[in-house]
Structure 1
Amino acid sequence: MSEVLQQLIELLRLEPIGVNRFRGQSQDLGFRNLFGGQVLGQSLSAALQTLADPGWHPHSLHAYFLRPGNVTDALEFEVDVLRDGRSFATRQVKASQNGKAILTMMASFQHPEQGFEHQVTMPEVKGPDGIPSQLELARMFRDHFPERVRDIYTADKPIEMRVLDPVNIFAPQKKEPLKYVWMKADDQMADDANEHARLLAYATDFNLIPTALHPHAVSVAQKDMQVASLDHSVWFHRPFRIDEWLLYAIDSPNASGARGFCRGQIFNQQGELVASVAQEGLMRRRVLASES
């Protein structure tokens, strides 16, 4: 397994520090604050560690980001065991940093069960072959990034992402609020469905709110843009592997009140809908000191 993928897997695994309490570390991805997907993946990991039966698998999680986290201090996770039923189990997770809550999550788990099935059709888009990765694009534009984050943005990534018709974040132009991203772990992983779920939860926080910025010809790279996740939901529909290509089809049907709303559907290459995502995020244009 590649070193960067192993580092991410270890980051999302947590250290027990008490009854239903866990500690996790932080990682600097070059953003202004701690990456929300990291806290999502770690919170799901905390909830999973309180389930005695390995047959439980997550079917949904719903989180609110309460405060921005920093990239240097450890996090603590406290899990409230709300219900252990025959078919479903429910956990509430509070993630804190320096004694202050930064995220709260409800997560529900289910034993695999057969039932009625239907799904939407996978969009007809180009496959992942021949599409440059976000990392390749970042390395092409290396000199455009501030020196402080240049090495972080251009370092090897544990999850490869290939965007169809990507936006130039340094010179954005208006376009429809749609985005198609092929993504997969950069190396083969073990056959642990919950490990794959943790990594998918982590990865779903990439690319969402930037899609809501498309119609406004702005990007997260602009100093006057304040962009942050406010809430995040994931529904896991079918078994999947994140070390195989998955298509993340994202759209943003609304922006209002300085918030952008985004939806995501995740398909495997066989056309099966394996997960759905919804998120609302802050997208605020600030007046910089030099402009006031």
Structure 2
Amino acid sequence: MTSTTQLLRGLLDLDSVGARTTEDIYVGHTPSLGPKRVFGGQVLAQSVIAAARTVDEDRPIHSLHGYFLRPGDPDTPITYGVERLRDGRSFSARRVHAYQDGAPILSMIASFELPGEGINFQDEMPANVPDPESLPSAAEELGGIDHPMARMWAEHRPFDMRYPDGSLYLSSPAHPERNLVWMKTKEHFGDNPLEHQAALAYGSDFTLIETALRRAGTNWLTSGSSIASLDHAMWWHRPARVDEWLLFVQHATSAQGARALIKASVFDREGQLVATVLQEGMIRPPRQR
């Protein structure tokens, strides 16, 4: 039986179609697992892989900025068109459009850099955060609940996710000013640095919007809201492995109307700041009857 981690690695293996006019074309597929929609993190991860295929291997990705434009159909392949915007002495820029049935579902620009020397400092990781081994997994929290969402959280995700301040699956725990999540893949993820970067982009879309739910004093069970990611920005600062524990330190900075803005700082267990993520999400309350 194929594991969820193996499925994640498999979806990063895009088909190469070739060049059409101004774009290099690749095709990605969605595993037949979980809900009948395409997870936004999957489209981000596949876009990272597609863009990187057109850049020299000595230039890793360091940032992306993308907009989710339409929901994706998991039964339809996703076509990735990569436009080579610029290749300079140190930086390369790429534009990626993810298409289904001729319409874009994601538009993203990514930047790649030839690593160099420079200044070096960072924010500090929060102190006294419980170790992930001392916290329950989603399977331990939800394994006895026979519900599609509970099974998705407990079984279908390729990442083991643990909450130092308590999860928002069923309740609204304390510490509304932050949302801490330890995360790593459930199995070894190989040694390809690009795949680790793409998988981190995949995982970065899991828990950002729920950070706004926490600050609002609600949770996934009681919210009842229509929820969707609107845009996503990410910066990779230092090398990191997704099969080793990473701490997402998340804060919802503002919510107004039907939108909320969330920031995440991602640290490894040694306290290195490895990535920063910003996302605006739609949280639309239930319609009044």
Normalising to structure 1: TM-score of the pair?
Answer: 0.90
Instruction: Give me the CA root mean square deviation.
Output: 2.0
Say whether residues 1:115 and 2:104 are aligned partners: no
Structure 2 residue matching 1:56: 3-state secondary structure: coil
Query: Is 211-220 or 258-267 further displaced after alignment?
Result: 211-220
Structure 2 residue matching 1:213: 3-state secondary structure: helix
After superposition, what is the alpha-carbon deviation per residue over 1:35-92, rounded to whole angstroms, capped at 9, x for unaligned? 10000000111101111x2111010000100111122211110000001111000000
Q: Which residue pairs with 1:281 in the alignment?
A: 281
After superposition, what is the alpha-carbon deviation per residue over 1:207-259, rounded to whole angstroms, capped at 9, x for unaligned? 10011011333333457310000000110001111111111111111101210
Q: Which residue pairs with 1:67 in the alignment?
A: 70
Say whether residues 1:24 and 2:28 are aligned partners: yes
Q: CA deviation at 1:164?
A: 1.4
Query: 1:139 is matched with which residue: 127, 139, 143?
Result: 143
Q: CA deviation at 1:171?
A: 4.2
Change (3 A) 1:177 1:67: farther
After superposition, what is the alpha-carbon deviation per residue over 1:102-151, rounded to whole angstroms, capped at 9, x for unaligned? 100000001121110110111111121211112322214x23x24xx554
Give distance in 1, aligned partners of 2:285 and 2:35. 17
Matches within 5 A, 1:36-185: 36-51=40-55, 53-124=56-127, 125-140=129-144, 142-143=145-146, 145-146=147-148, 151-155=151-155, 157-172=157-172, 176-185=176-185
Query: Is 210-219 or 225-234 further displaced after alignment?
Result: 210-219
Q: Do 1:46 and 1:79's aligned partners in 2 also have CA atoms closer than 8 Å? A: yes
Q: Which residue pairs with 1:195 in the alignment?
A: 195
Say whether residues 1:34 and 2:38 are aligned partners: yes
What count of residue pairs does the alignment treat as equivalent?
283
Query: Is 231-240 or 128-137 further displaced after alignment?
Result: 128-137
Query: Is 121-130 or 103-112 further displaced after alignment?
Result: 121-130
Give distance in 2, aligned partners of 1:264 and 1:17. 35
Give distance in 1, aligned partners of 2:183 and 2:276. 15
Give distance in 1, aligned partners of 2:242 and 2:96. 24
Give distance in 2, aligned partners of 1:35 and 1:161. 17
Query: Is 78-87 or 157-166 further displaced after alignment?
Result: 157-166
5+ residue gaps, structure 1? none
Q: Do 2:228 and 2:282's aligned partners in 1 also have CA atoms closer than 8 Å? A: yes
5+ residue gaps, structure 2? none
Q: Do 1:174 and 1:215's aligned partners in 2 also have CA atoms closer than 8 Å? A: no
Give distance in 2, aligned partners of 1:235 and 1:268. 15
Give distance in 2, aligned partners of 1:71 and 1:150. 20
Change (3 A) 1:286 1:139: same
Percent identical: 40
Q: Do 1:138 and 1:154's aligned partners in 2 also have CA atoms closer than 8 Å? A: yes
Structure 2 residue matching 1:240: 3-state secondary structure: coil
Q: Do 2:168 and 2:210's aligned partners in 1 also have CA atoms closer than 8 Å? A: no
Give distance in 2, aligned partners of 1:150 and 1:182. 19
Amino acid in the other structure paired with 2:113: Q
Give distance in 2, aligned partners of 1:12 and 1:257. 36
Amino acid in the other structure paired with 2:66: A
Change (3 A) 1:223 1:252: closer
Normalising to structure 2: TM-score of the pair?
Answer: 0.91
Q: Do 1:27 and 1:34's aligned partners in 2 also have CA atoms closer than 8 Å? A: no
